[in-house]
Amino acid sequence: MKLTYYPGCSLEGTASDYAAGIAGVAGLLGLTLAELPDWNCCGASAAHSLDAEAARALPIRNLRLAQRIGLDVVAPCALCFNRLKAGAKDLEAKGERLSFRVWDLLDLLTQPVFLKRMAARLVTPLTGLQAVCYYGCLVNRPPKITDAPTPENPGNMEKLLQTLGATPLEWSFKTDCCGAGLAVARPDLIDRLVRRLYDRARRAGAECIVVSCQMCQANLDLPQARISRQAGQKYELPVLYFTELIALALGHPEVPRWLARHLVDPRPVLAAKGLLEIPAPQASG
């Protein structure tokens, strides 16, 4: 299966670990991701906040490039996906028909064809791994843009975790906002939102949080030390990409190297379950 791939800017930057994991999983699942030539930034929150015209034109330039190729487009970032979908809706409203569909990567990889492939090739079932799924905002909301069937209570990531043998836990915060867009200008606000997510995840019994977007990942992973200091209690919840769990369960050899690039190291939790071998620490503490 071949699709046009729209990586988005941060996968070339701070989320290069996510990009590596996606490439690895695509290889395992027989999926060819052909990067959209000359793709541009989708404009993100900045464009839709300050320049409605640019917020339409930027994704539409990408859609026109994709139209020449004609294959379905997949985006691994919730915000890129949302902006591309908004652009597509805009063109449709003007009577233009696109011959392809825009996918969010999680939605694509949880289609029955891929879940079946995963189930058939399971090498290391993630038995005993207790996780909450965190979808964030923009892959699902607003449904008139995303076409998400169950925006208040999505379930495709839970289904994926079950397929991989892990234990997805119920919690009511899977689509609550983490405030990622305010992380630079108002970190005080995101600290409050994110801390609540940690608390609720822990209360649900989670050993880790699973995400499908690099902004959610960064916003939940990077500030844990800061939030721990402020809260006077230690938070140490690994925040894993769903792609890393697929790769782990399917026996991809590179997984430990991707995990080592997170700030909160997920390897000890996985090693304790016998899902991963990590080299013994050099010095004991």
Partner 1 sequence: MAQSAAFALAENLAAAGLAVDGCYQCRKCSNGCPLVFAMDLPPDRVIRLALLGREDELLACRTIWVCSSCETCTTRCPNGIDIAGVMDWLKEQAVARGAAVPEPEVRDFHCAFLGAVKLMGGRLSEPLVLALYALKGGRWLAKLRRSAAAGELATALELLKRRRLPLSPPRRLAGAGEVAGILRRW
Please state the closest distance from residue 281 (CB atom) to partner 1, in A: 17
**Cα dist from 177 to 76, 129, 157, 248, whole Å:** 18, 24, 17, 28
Residue 77 Cβ vs partner 1, minimum distance, rounded to whole Å? 12
Query: What six digits make up the tokens of 108?
Result: 């694509």
Nearest approach, Cβ of residue 119 and partner 1 (Å):
32
| CA 192-198-202 angle, 5° bins | 145
Q: Which is nearer to partner 1, 82 or 163 (CB)?
A: 82
CB of 211 to partner 1, least distance (A): 15
CA angle 256, 156, 174 (to 5 degrees): 80
Q: How far apart are CA 161 and CA 158, in angstroms?
A: 5
At its nearest, how many Å lie between partner 1 and the CB of residue 151?
Answer: 6
Rounded-to-10 torsion of CA 259, 119, 30, 97: -100
Q: What share of the chain is helix, strand, coil (3-state, %, to 5)?
A: 50, 10, 40
Q: Least Å distance between CB 43 and partner 1? A: 7
Nearer to partner 1, 126 or 148 (CB): 148
Using an 8 Å Cβ cutoff, are 9 and 36 in contact?
A: no
Q: What is the 3-state secondary structure (H, E, C) of 32-48?
A: EEEECCCCCCCCHHHHH
- What residues line the site for partner 1 (CB under 8 A)? 9-10, 12-17, 38-41, 43-54, 57-58, 61, 137-138, 141-143, 151-152, 176-177, 179-182, 184-189, 192-193, 222-223, 225-226, 260-263
Of 58 and 275, nearer to partner 1 (C-beta) is 58
**SS3 assignment, position 20:** helix
Cα gap 207→237, rounded to integer Å: 6
For the bound state, the minimum distance from the C-beta of residue 13 to partner 1, rounded and expressed in Å, comes to 4
- Residue 113 Cβ vs partner 1, minimum distance, rounded to whole Å: 29
Name the residue nearer to partner 1 (CB basis): 122 or 222.
222
Which residue, 93 or 120, has its beta carbon nearer to partner 1? 93
- Choose between 71 and 193: whose C-beta lies nearer to partner 1: 193
Residue 107 sits at the vertex; the CA angle it makes with 115 and 143, to the nearest 5 degrees, is 145
Considering the complex, state which of residue 123 and residue 189 has its C-beta at the smaller distance from partner 1. Answer: 189
Using DSSP's 3-state secondary structure scheme, residue 209 falls into: strand
| C-alpha to C-alpha distance for 83 and 88, rounded to whole angstroms | 9
Q: Compare residues 161 and 247 and give the one whose CB is closer to partner 1.
A: 247
CA 265 to chain CA centroid, Å, is 17
> Tokens in use for 162?
């079950």
